[in-house]
Every structure is written in C-alpha cells, then in structure tokens.
C-alpha cells in the first residue's frame, strides 16, 4: 500500500479521481486473489484474481518472474497506470491503461488493458493451481469484469508491482 500511495502522490494531477485505487500485487502467486480495489475513504478492499503476462512467467509456474515494457514481450509492466476509456476489442469490453512511469510508459502502444478472460476464474485455479496468462494485460474473471470496469472508471490509478 505504501508504494501505491507514493505513486499516487508522485503523479499528482495525472490521477484526477482518487476515491478508489487498484493494486495488483504480483509478488503473490496467480492462484491467489491479488488485485485489490481499495476504497480510499472507507479503507474497504475488494480482492480479486488477476493474471500476469506470458513473458513474465515463461515456465508458467504461476509466479511472475520479470516485468517488461518492451513491445512484443508479452510481459506485465510495473508502475502506476491511469485508467482510460472503455472500448470493445478482441477481448470484448476492456478499459485502456496509460502507463505513467518509465517502467510502463509503452502500455498504451502495447495495448495493455483491463479485460475479462476465461482463464481467470476459481475453477481454473481448482483445476490447475494457477491462472492462465495474458499478453501483459490485467485480465480478470469475466464474471467480475463489469464490477472492475465500473468501479475503476476513468482517471483512477492502478498500481502494479511486487508489493
């Protein structure tokens, strides 16, 4: 939480809506809920499953091994993101992400977004002990996608790192 709050302060006006913050804690295995939606007023937190990129976990161990900001890496990137608009793409309804740090500044060009995925669910964890992997996106359960898209809205921060 301290790293995320420092990022929120560091990015100032780039994050206009500060009532809710998303934190993806990639120090935790993918089979454990690790995407925290934190209500800044009440402190209440909703914690969900979230995938990491194939390039971040080449052996598919379920643990993120490395971050990358490079096009074609299929890896997750660390740092602060500002949530953008919703669009409909190859994964259905998705929310664009704008990387605000040197470690994720290529997110928009890499099409790193929040989207739903069949490979993110408690059933997948029960069957395989871990989630499937994205191409660097923050993929959540299709059953929880609308909640995530709505609650995050536009102009909020998601912080992703090994916290």
Strand 45-48 and strand 35-39: pairing? antiparallel
115/50 Cα distance (integer angstroms): 10
Residue 1 confidence (pLDDT): 87
Query: Among 141, 156, 154, 70, which Cα is nearest to 112's?
Result: 70
Residue 15 confidence (pLDDT): 98
Whether the pTM exceeds 0.85: the reply is: yes
For the stretch 61-107, pLDDT in tens is 999 999 999 999 999 999 999 999 999 999 999 999 999 999 999 99
56/87 Cα distance (integer angstroms): 25
Residue ranges of domains in the chain, CATH in brackets: 2-161 (2.40.440.10)
Q: Where are the alpha helices (DSSP H) in 43-121?
A: 107-110
For the stretch 109-161, pLDDT in tens is 999 999 999 999 999 999 999 999 999 999 999 999 999 999 999 999 999 99
123/59 Cα distance (integer angstroms): 21
């Amino acid at each position: 939480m301290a790293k995320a709050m420092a990022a929120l302060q560091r990015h100032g006006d780039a994050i206009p809506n500060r009532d809710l913050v998303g934190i993806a804690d990639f120090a935790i295995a993918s089979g454990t809920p690790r995407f925290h939606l934190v209500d800044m007023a009440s402190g209440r937190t909703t914690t969900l499953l979230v995938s990491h990129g194939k390039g971040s976990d080449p052996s598919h161990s379920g643990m993120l091994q490395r971050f990358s900001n490079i096009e074609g890496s299929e890896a997750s990137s660390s740092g602060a993101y500002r949530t953008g608009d919703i669009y409909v793409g190859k994964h259905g309804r998705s929310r664009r992400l704008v990387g605000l740090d040197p470690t994720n500044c290529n997110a928009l060009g890499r099409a790193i977004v929040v989207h739903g995925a069949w490979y993110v669910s408690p059933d997948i964890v029960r069957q395989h002990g871990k989630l499937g992997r994205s191409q660097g996106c923050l993929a959540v359960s299709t059953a929880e996608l609308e909640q995530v898209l709505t609650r995050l809205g536009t102009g909020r921060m998601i912080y992703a790192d090994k916290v």
